[in-house]
């Protein structure tokens, strides 16, 4: 007697081979039979008319904190994701000494827009080492987790405050190497670092003070384990990104490790630079280096209100200083002060068209309800005002709770993005799941891939797209026994309708500890998600309480 049979599906097995019809039998969490199965089973899932694929893998997330209060990493599983990689961009919550907790929380707050109150209300700080952190999240895990250890966390542990001040001594590098070895032994899938991010004081994060000896020394340790390094490149500068590609290639060749950089965006119309960066990846690949560019599927949309600092204002110093460091009262006072307001408007004016294109997406007062959905240009015409004045006036009227959407800021050329997604040296990822929770919903990127780029635009075949988000991702990250539907593989399976699969619209929910909000999306077309052989989610009945998620791929079983 089998535990579970998935009947009559169209099997897209993750290898890229054409789909075929069949049943999948599962026992003790693993696939034990594929084909026409006559055996009986305790449970049967009818997949007639549906695609049966390996569970999707999301290689770029920041669910580190959320996993402490939500072992499902909601709503990832309902979008078909069965494995997530947290700890990207140099930031992980372990190893972490008690005296550095608030420093790290500050970095998560600045870089990933995680509210500080969520850490205060949602986190019991009962770990220090990476092994203790792994034990902690394993206790109620429904999704599989392949955690990276952050370079900034390693530095902070070894160097304390000096981590944000100077290069490391030879002795400190040796200590970091030992610490990284411990983390990899305890289950880390690799290490992340960054050349871009800043902390809550707008100062470079600790890993940016590392010299080449330090990064080299840490990659040597990754080489002992054959594990990956993830790096945030200077995505806004093609020359610097090309230099990072070369640097990663040298590290890959020297230590025989896989490497990946994120993100690679298609900025509006700037195809020449995208082609240049990809050509460099191809050249390094031809030399035998393993360098993968991470590309996200969704266009860049950013929502904001003046209650929390938004990425959108990063390059406007007066605005950013005000919304990052000012209290709500100070922001209101500046908006009401005619001199301060004039100065702000003058600074923002050069980005003229962008303000007019903003859409008012949410208000709390009934009198402004009719304006929701209109652009600021439209509202400015109605009020005989300007878009920037309208943005400020509505924010004042709504006690800073007027929400605006800046849609399609870039990365929205379907043909060009599709061409990249199909490229053999591109890893589909960079979702940033669990981060930027007040700027956009980081969920549904795989639904968008299969809806927009496979079904509507036909730029990838279904088999090719599934291979990219299952087998290839597992292979790149060294996640064994997952990513394919084959005998003896672990039964992580996503069943969906290829005619409807997509991502739903973005909406606001209040489910973050400390009564906080975030943007989420529902999935469309996902029917059933199986993790470790157990049904974790079904469209008809919702989530189950199965806790079959494991920490991959470390020695801690």
Beta strand pairing status for 30-35 and 542-543? unpaired
Beta strand pairing status for 502-512 and 30-35? unpaired
CB of residue 337 vs Zn ion: minimum separation in angstroms?
A: 36
* CA-closest candidate to residue 294, choices 549, 85, 521: 85
194 contacts Zn ion (rule: CB under 5 A): no
CA distance 474 to 56: 10
193 contacts Zn ion (rule: CB under 5 A): no
88 contacts Zn ion (rule: CB under 5 A): yes
* CA-closest candidate to residue 59, choices 81, 75, 91, 74: 81
The set of residues, in sequence order, having a beta carbon less than 8 Å from that of 397 and lying 6+ positions away, is 365, 368
For Zn ion, the binding residues in 426-445 under the rule CB under 5 A are 432
85 contacts Zn ion (rule: CB under 5 A): no
Angle at CA of residue 422, ends 418 and 425, nearest 5°:
125
110 contacts Zn ion (rule: CB under 5 A): no
Give the nearest residue (CB) to Zn ion.
89
CA distance 210 to 152: 9
247 contacts Zn ion (rule: CB under 5 A): no
CA distance 283 to 293: 13
Task: State which residue, 34 or 228, has the beta carbon closest to Zn ion.
Answer: 228
CB of residue 62 vs Zn ion: minimum separation in angstroms?
A: 6
CB of residue 235 vs Zn ion: minimum separation in angstroms?
A: 11
CB of residue 152 vs Zn ion: minimum separation in angstroms?
A: 12
Task: State which residue, 76 or 88, has the beta carbon closest to Zn ion.
Answer: 88
CB of residue 89 vs Zn ion: minimum separation in angstroms?
A: 4
CA distance 66 to 74: 9
Size of the site for Zn ion (CB under 5 A): 3
The set of residues, in sequence order, having a beta carbon less than 8 Å from that of 73 and lying 6+ positions away, is 61, 63, 66, 67, 81, 84, 143, 433, 434
Task: State which residue, 88 or 536, has the beta carbon closest to Zn ion.
Answer: 88
Which of these ranges, 89-97, 129-137, 251-259, 293-301, lies near Zn ion under the rule CB under 5 A? 89-97
142 contacts Zn ion (rule: CB under 5 A): no
Which of these ranges, 81-89, 241-249, 250-258, 504-512, lies near Zn ion under the rule CB under 5 A? 81-89
CB of 233 closer than 8 Å to CB of 241: yes
Task: State which residue, 113 or 131, has the beta carbon closest to Zn ion.
Answer: 113
Angle at CA of residue 262, ends 269 and 517, nearest 5°:
95
CB of residue 141 vs Zn ion: minimum separation in angstroms?
A: 21
Rg (CA), the chain: 24
CB of residue 109 vs Zn ion: minimum separation in angstroms?
A: 14
CA distance 555 to 557: 6
3-state helix, strand, coil in the chain (%, to 5): 40, 20, 40
Which of these ranges, 64-72, 88-96, 146-154, 373-381, lies near Zn ion under the rule CB under 5 A? 88-96
The set of residues, in sequence order, having a beta carbon less than 8 Å from that of 31 and lying 6+ positions away, is 24, 25, 485, 486, 487, 488, 489, 490, 491
92 contacts Zn ion (rule: CB under 5 A): no
* CA-closest candidate to residue 242, choices 284, 206, 199, 205: 284
Task: State which residue, 432 or 527, has the beta carbon closest to Zn ion.
Answer: 432
CB of residue 553 vs Zn ion: minimum separation in angstroms?
A: 21
Up-side HSE of residue 99: CA atoms within 13 Å toward CB? 6
Taking residues 327 to 366 in sequence order and writing x for each that binds Zn ion by CB under 5 A, - otherwise, the string is ----------------------------------------
CB of residue 169 vs Zn ion: minimum separation in angstroms?
A: 29
Task: State which residue, 214 or 432, has the beta carbon closest to Zn ion.
Answer: 432
Which of these ranges, 30-38, 85-93, 287-295, 314-322, lies near Zn ion under the rule CB under 5 A? 85-93
CA distance 543 to 535: 8
CB of residue 165 vs Zn ion: minimum separation in angstroms?
A: 24
289 contacts Zn ion (rule: CB under 5 A): no
Contact residue for Zn ion among 2, 19, 34, 89 (CB under 5 A) = 89
Task: State which residue, 89 or 469, has the beta carbon closest to Zn ion.
Answer: 89
Which of these ranges, 45-53, 87-95, 179-187, 527-535, lies near Zn ion under the rule CB under 5 A? 87-95
Count of beta carbons in the 10 Å neighbourhood of residue 212 = 11
207 contacts Zn ion (rule: CB under 5 A): no
Task: State which residue, 89 or 484, has the beta carbon closest to Zn ion.
Answer: 89
295 contacts Zn ion (rule: CB under 5 A): no
- Interface residues toward Zn ion, by CB under 5 A: 88-89, 432
């Amino acid at each position: 007697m089998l535990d579970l049979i998935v009947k009559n599906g169209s099997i897209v097995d993750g290898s890229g081979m054409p789909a075929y019809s069949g049943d999948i039998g599962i026992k003790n969490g693993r696939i034990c039979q594929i084909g026409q199965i006559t055996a009986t089973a305790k449970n049967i899932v009818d997949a007639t008319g549906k695609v049966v694929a390996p569970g999707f893998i999301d290689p770029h997330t920041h669910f580190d904190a959320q996993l402490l209060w939500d072992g499902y990493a909601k709503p990832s599983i309902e979008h078909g994701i069965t494995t997530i990689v947290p700890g990207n961009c140099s930031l992980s919550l372990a190893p972490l000494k008690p005296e550095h907790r608030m420093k790290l929380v500050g970095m998560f707050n600045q870089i990933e827009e995680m509210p500080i109150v969520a850490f205060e209300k949602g986190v019991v700080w009962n770990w220090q080492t990476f092994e203790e952190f792994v034990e902690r999240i394993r206790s109620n895990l429904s999704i599989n987790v392949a955690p990276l250890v952050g370079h900034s966390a390693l530095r902070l542990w070894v160097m304390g405050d000096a981590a944000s001040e100077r290069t490391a001594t030879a002795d400190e590098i040796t200590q970091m190497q030992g610490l990284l070895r411990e983390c990899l032994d305890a289950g880390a899938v690799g290490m992340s670092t960054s050349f871009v991010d800043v902390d809550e004081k707008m100062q470079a994060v600790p890993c940016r003070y590392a010299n080449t000896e330090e990064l080299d020394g840490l990659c040597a340790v990754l080489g002992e384990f054959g594990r990956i390094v993830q790096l945030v490149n200077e995505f806004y500068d093609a020359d610097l990104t090309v230099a990072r590609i070369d640097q990663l290639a040298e590290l890959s060749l020297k230590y025989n490790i896989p490497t990946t950089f994120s993100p690679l965006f298609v900025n509006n119309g700037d195809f020449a630079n995208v082609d240049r960066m990809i050509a460099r990846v191809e050249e390094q690949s031809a030399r035998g280096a393993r360098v993968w560019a991470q590309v996200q599927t969704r266009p860049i949309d950013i929502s904001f209100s003046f209650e929390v600092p938004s990425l959108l204002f990063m390059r406007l110093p007066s605005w950013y200083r005000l919304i990052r460091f000012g209290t709500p009262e100070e922001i209101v006072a500046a908006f009401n002060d005619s001199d301060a307001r004039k100065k702000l408007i003058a600074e923002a004016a050069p980005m003229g068209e962008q303000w007019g294109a903003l859409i008012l997406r949410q208000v709390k007062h009934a009198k402004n309800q009719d304006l929701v959905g209109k652009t600021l240009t439209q509202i400015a015409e109605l009020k005989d005002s300007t878009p920037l004045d309208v943005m400020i006036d509505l924010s004042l009227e709504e006690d800073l709770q007027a929400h605006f959407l800046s849609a399609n800021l870039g990365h929205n050329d379907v043909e060009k993005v599709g061409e990249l997604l199909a490229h053999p040296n591109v890893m589909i990822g960079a979702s940033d799941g669990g981060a930027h929770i007040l700027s956009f919903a980081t969920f549904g990127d795989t639904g968008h891939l299969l809806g927009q780029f496979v079904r509507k635009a036909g730029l990838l075949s279904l088999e090719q797209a599934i291979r990219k988000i299952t087998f290839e991702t597992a292979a790149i990250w060294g996640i064994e026994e997952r990513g394919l539907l084959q005998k003896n593989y672990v039964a992580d399976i996503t069943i969906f309708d290829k005619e409807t699969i997509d991502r739903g619209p973005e909406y606001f929910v209040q489910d973050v500890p400390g009564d906080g909000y975030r943007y989420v999306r529902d999935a469309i077309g996902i029917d059933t998600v199986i993790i470790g052989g157990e049904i974790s989610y079904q469209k008809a009945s919702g989530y189950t309480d199965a806790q079959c998620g494991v920490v991959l791929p470390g020695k801690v079983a």
